[in-house]
Amino acid sequence: MHVRTWQAAALLLLATLVALSTAFASSSREPRADDVRALDGVWIYVEDRTEGRALEDQQSSMGGKVTLRVEEAAVVLVRSDGEIRMALDGSATEVSREGSTSRYSGTWKDGAFRYQSEPVTEPGSPTRTGIRWELRPTADGLLAGVETDSGWKSIALYRHPEDIPLPTPAKATIGDLTWLAGAWVGTRGTGGTTSMEERWCPPLGGAMLAVSRTVSRQKMTAFEYLRIVERDGGLVYVAQPGGRSPTEFVLTELAANRAVFENPRHDSPQRIVYELSAEGGLSASIGSTKGGRPKRFDFQREVK
């Protein structure tokens, strides 16, 4: 009786060890679902983590926003021009756009999703550069690295919008921006072929309203509805480019003739600065909240 009991126990222990060994081997070969799912969602650029890159040269590695969707055994890169579905087993997916075709393939390994795109070219066609990416979820956010065949490398930190701290608002009233009121015009491009305008009404009722327009070669190429409103003891800049849904930027800095508005949860821009010069000109710049080279627009008061 005791012998049989001992044999049964030994067989049960052996079966348990085999099951654990099989499960361990399987988990080492296949990515755990929870790890892969950490890639899912919308990611906003936070800062450049490329070693040795100067502050003014810092930039995102994959644009201001990355959208990923994790499916069974695949990661889908959602772009404005379509979706790219990459199986986790390394099998290739060909994507054609604007007369060119690229072959994408990816795998999950060592806590990161690595994928690459290789150009599919016909004999005699111009050489195109292959690109490799690594997306690694961390406690600090998503580290997105990119490297090209030419040797260019970049790595940046991304976070979900809700995980990015909002800036501390500055105290102000709409009357503090009286200097912004008026019709402002400017030109860009070689020979001033592009004209720009922003027309701001005076402060009234706790708000300032504006409309902007860009015209190139006698054709309107862009327009935007703008407003600045008082809220909770501060000011909020509301932009609607092309009349689309509003995006808000909170006032974070205010001087006599300078105002800074920020929204680090927006992809681009994240920072808007208006400044009145001593000569009476107005500059408006847009860029990231940290590093990079802001894009600047210069205006003068319209002369009638």
Asked whether 102 and 118 are in contact (CB, 8 A), the reply is: yes
Taking residue 115's Cβ as centre, other Cβ atoms within 10 Å add up to 21
The C-alpha atoms of residue 126 and residue 124 are separated, in whole angstroms, by 7
- Identify any residues that bridge with 274 across adjacent strands, giving them in sequence order: 259, 284
Arithmetic mean of pLDDT, 276-301: 96
pLDDT at res. 116: 96
Q: Tens digit of pLDDT for each residue in 70-99?
A: 999 999 999 988 999 999 999 999 998 877
Pick the CATH number of 33-163 from 3.30.450.20, 2.60.40.420, 2.40.128.20, 1.20.1240.10: 2.40.128.20
For the structural domain made of 174-301, what CATH number should be given?
Answer: 2.40.128.20
Q: Is the pLDDT of residue 7 over 70?
A: no
Average pLDDT, the chain: 89
**174 contacts 229 by C-beta, under 8 angstroms:** yes
Q: Please check the confidence at residue 164 and state whether its pLDDT lies above 70.
A: yes
Give the pLDDT confidence score for residue 284 in this predicted structure. Answer: 98
Strand intervals (E) in the chain:
41-48, 65-71, 74-79, 82-87, 93-97, 100-109, 112-120, 131-138, 141-148, 153-159, 182-188, 194-200, 207-216, 219-231, 234-241, 247-255, 258-262, 271-276, 282-287, 295-301
Q: CATH topology of 33-163 equal to that of 174-301?
A: yes
Q: Could you state, in order of their start, the residue ranges of all structural domains in the chain? A: 33-163, 174-301
Quick one: pLDDT at residue 84?
A: 96
Place of tokens 């300078």: 258
pLDDT at 22: 46
Q: What percent of the chain clears pLDDT 90, i.e. is strictly above it? A: 78
Q: What is the pLDDT of residues 135-155, one digit of tens each?
A: 999 999 999 999 999 999 999
pLDDT at site 129: 77
pLDDT tens digits along 32-46? 545 899 999 999 999
